[in-house]
Amino acid sequence: MIDDDAVVTVRDVHYAIGTHVIFKGLNVQVRRGAITAVMGPSGTGKTTLLRLIMGQVVAKRGTVRVFGENVARLKRRELYRLRQRVGLLFQSGALLTDLSVFENVAFPLREHAHLPEPVLRELVLMKLQAVGLRGAADMVPAELSGGMARRVALARAIVMDPEVLIYDEPFVGLDPISMGVIVRLIQSLNRLLGITTIVVSHDVREIGAIANYSYLLSEGEVVAEGTPAELNAERKGVVRQFMSGTPDGPVPFHYPARDYFEQLLERPGT
């Protein structure tokens, strides 16, 4: 049975790269119009989840549905059509360095919409105005600060008026002021454009200020879910460690490895 209010449904998903298991029965649901956060320590598969949602990789077992469509069964043309309904803010911004701010934002429209130039210009300036950077239209990425570049990338992500907007680690490398600007933009765009928002992040405080519902991933599955208040009240060890940012706890500092002294004493090539 498919929930009509769910834009994205990830059900019992298993995924591995070689022998490295990333997901073992993952269940996540993103509801229409909400801001849904996906959190977890580094290496828990947050970005991999986005790749599954966008059809870049396919689960070994389980289903990923977006707009009610089973992503794994879509043909290439159908998958491209689905992706046009989704905006993605890349972790690095991923601006095209040889193009101006204006042309970076215009790029998806030139590729997919084939609009008259006056209409295209109006749309691009409208999106730049929404992120507060209409005055930077003629600048190039090298002239932008990190926060400005992230906002230009956001303008590009919304230029096609997506139904779903995905942010992959939107707060990384930003100063407190730029971070505050991005937080406000996520909230206002979700509200004013009536879109569904997915934010992948490990910044607990910023996520707690804007998310309607959050999932915490660890060791291949959801270890906690709920409102920010519910996650803060959770007593499970891995949840407390992540929410409080303590170095010691269920999530180990060291990646699994052989015995340290045994490896130090061995002779190479033996």
So where are the chain's domains?
A: 1-79+205-270
Please name the residue ranges forming H helices in 46-145.
46-53, 76-83, 101-112, 117-130
Q: Mind spelling out the 3-state secondary structure of 147-168?
A: HHHHHHHHHHHHCCCCCEEEEE
Tell how strand 86-89 and strand 69-70 pair up.
unpaired
- What's the CA gap between 168 and 145, in Å, rounded? 19
pLDDT, tens digit, 9 for 90 and up, residues 191-240: 888 889 999 887 777 788 888 999 988 888 898 888 888 877 877 766 66
Q: 147 or 57, which is more confident?
A: 57
pLDDT for the residue numbered 1: 41
pLDDT, tens digit, 9 for 90 and up, residues 61-72: 999 999 999 999
Percent of the chain with pLDDT over 70: 91
pLDDT, tens digit, 9 for 90 and up, residues 139-190: 999 999 888 888 899 899 988 889 999 988 887 777 787 788 888 888 888 8
> CB–CB of 155/127 below 8 Å?
yes
Q: What is the mean pLDDT of residues 26-44?
A: 89
pLDDT for the residue numbered 96: 87
- What's the CA gap between 66 and 70, in Å, rounded? 7
pLDDT, tens digit, 9 for 90 and up, residues 245-264: 555 555 554 566 777 777 77
Residues whose CB is less than 8 angstroms from the CB of residue 223 and which lie 6 or more positions away in sequence, other chains included: 216, 217, 236, 238, 239
Mean pLDDT of the chain: 85
Angle between helices 146-158 and 101-112 (to 10 degrees): 20
pLDDT at 135 over 60: yes
Q: What is the CATH number of domain 1-79+205-270?
A: 3.40.50.300
Q: What is the mean pLDDT of residues 119-144?
A: 91
pLDDT for the residue numbered 119: 94
Residues whose CB is less than 8 angstroms from the CB of residue 101 and which lie 6 or more positions away in sequence, other chains included: 128, 133, 136, 137, 138, 139, 140, 141, 144, 152
Rank 40-44, 94-98, 168-172, 175-179 by mean pLDDT and report only the highest: 94-98
pLDDT for the residue numbered 94: 84
Q: What is the mean pLDDT of residues 7-35?
A: 92
- What is the reported pTM? 0.82
